[in-house]
Homo-oligomer: A and B are copies of this chain.
Amino acid sequence: MCRWMAYSGNPLPLDFLLLEPQHSLIDQSLSSKMAPKPTNGDGFGIGFYGRNHEPGIYHSIQPAWNDGNLRDMTHHIESSLALAHVRRSTGTPVQQSNCHPFRYCEWLFVHNGLIREFDRLRRDMAFEIAPELFPLVKGSTDSELMFYLALTYGLRDDPSAAMERVVGLIERCARREGIDNVLQMTVGIADSETLWSFRYSTERSSRTLFYSEDMGVMKEMYPEDLRGHAFTEKSVAVVSEPVGKRPEHWLEVPESSVVTVRNGQVAIRPFEPASA
């Protein structure tokens, strides 16, 4: 059910973040340890802020572990804020438009988890999207609809409040349809400066999510010889499951909360679905 990783800090080549660590995100595409199933081979995507405010995206329908361009592309792109995602489809087709991150102007969005019995809620969710945003939906995933609902509900002003409204809507629709435990989500959202990371599920037993408190944890992702020239005090990572050989040094994002990272500062606040 997908794995993702976000990085905020000094500019680094993407391969250093995604390929070189031990048990890296790309390794997790082949054999994740904490996901319900180990293989996340139904495509992947990388979003990164580089030359300007609008982020670049690379989407592939190949598994990340065998994509022929991944190493070269990530080696030649540096970023100070990036989101990467390896996908395990829960039923929708393997196509680039279903790969995360989704993008709207300077915003990026990744999701791990699912909406149970999504087919029964899809139309109500789609209807609620602002008409001017509706034509931008290109794929068929629950995740993409969540993103456009968040944009409809004010993501650009307050991502946390917008996501609380999105989850409130999904849970109300689910109650009406009699669907239990409708939502599992860890979500990463970024604009060009800030990273928001959400961990929530209707059943309050959410998929794992971790963050690094200090750059020491991140340095431990690497063999000795790669540690010197990398992270600064302001480097923070958020990951579905720990990267590196010291998983115990990562901090768990608390249940039902949102972590905000900006300029090296980490803030954690409770996440509460909006009632209406």
Interface residues of A, Cβ cutoff 8 Å to B: 13, 30-31, 38-39, 41-42, 48, 50-51, 56-63, 65-66, 68-69, 72-73, 75-77, 89, 92-97, 118-120, 122-123, 126-127, 131, 134-135, 137-140
Residues of B within 8 A of A42 (CB): 63, 66
Partner of A139, one of B48, B73, B140: B140
Chain B residues whose C-beta falls within 8 Å of the C-beta of A65 in the assembled complex:
41
Shortest CB distance A5–B (Å): 19
Residue of B with least CB distance to A139: B140
Cα A65 to Cα B65 with chains together (Å): 16
B76 near A69: Cβ-Cβ < 8 Å: no
Say yes or no: A94 contacts B62, CB within 8 Å. yes
Contact partner of A76 (CB less than 8 A), chosen from B51, B72, B140, is B51
Across-interface contacts of A140 in B (CB, < 8 A):
97, 137-139
CB distance from A108 to the nearest CB of B (A): 12
Asked if A51 and B13 sit within 8 Å, CB to CB, the answer is: yes
Nearest first, the 10 closest Cβ-Cβ pairs linking A and B are: A95-B95, A119-B135, A56-B76, A123-B134, A56-B72, A50-B76, A66-B94, A68-B96, A41-B41, A122-B135
Contacts of A93 in B (CB 8 A): 68, 95-97, 138
What are some 13 contacts across the A-B interface (CB < 8 A)? A30-B41, A31-B38, A48-B76, A56-B72, A56-B73, A56-B76, A69-B69, A69-B96, A93-B97, A97-B140, A122-B134, A123-B135, A126-B126
Q: Contact: B66 with A89, CB < 8 Å? A: yes
Q: Which of B13, B58, B89 lies in contact with A69, CB distance below 8 A? A: B58
Tell me whether B39 and A31 are in contact (CB under 8 A).
yes
Q: In angstroms, how far is the closest chain B Cβ from the Cβ of A45?
A: 10
Residue in B58, B120, B122 whose CB lies within 8 Å of A73: B58
Determine the distance from Cα of A205 to Cα of B150 in the docked complex, in whole angstroms. 43
Q: Quick one: closest B residue to A103, CB to CB?
A: B72
CA–CA, A38 and B42, complex, Å: 16
User: Residue of B at shortest CB range from A118?
Assistant: B135
Q: Which of B58, B61, B75, B95 contacts A51 (CB 8 A)?
A: B75
A58 contacts B39, C-beta separation under 8 Å: no
Closest B residue to A71 by CB, please name it.
B56
